[in-house]
Amino acid sequence: MVQARAASAQLEAAQASRRSKLSPEARHERYNKLLDFVKPRLGRKPEIKLPQVRNSAWTNLVDLASTEDQLRELAQLFPTWSASGRILDSHFSELFIRESAVLRYIARLIRITRSVRTTLVSFTRPRRVRELCKI
């Protein structure tokens, strides 16, 4: 019984260490590396066709973004994703809005989401968007 508890405690400690936060430098490095992977694979005629960009790359980019400039850079890439024949769904839209709100760039968030809403991202639940933006 005591050994089982000790093993359980060791397992929990190992899992906790794997879930530790990235340092700001590592976060920025991962963001740039993923962005460098994604950029040449966007548009009607991408420079690099394979491997293709997965939808999860966008989620990871938003999760790794830590500044307003990074979010603005992502928002500028949305039309090229659309030109590729792909769409960003409402789950991604909500994630982008939430992350922008967390970074406390509400005024810019509203401007970005209005332009994106009209051009590309399908906000299937406008009420939910208003709740997230607290407009």
> Contact, 43 vs 83, CB < 8 A?
yes
List the domain boundaries for the chain: 21-133
CB-based contacts of 101: which residues, under 8 Å, 6+ apart?
A: 109, 132, 133, 134
pLDDT digits (tens, 9 = 90+) for 14-63: 555 555 788 889 999 999 999 999 999 998 888 888 888 898 999 999 99
pLDDT digits (tens, 9 = 90+) for 61-92: 999 988 878 888 998 898 888 888 888 888 88
pTM of the model: 0.65
Alpha-carbon gap, residue 8 to 11, rounded angstroms: 5
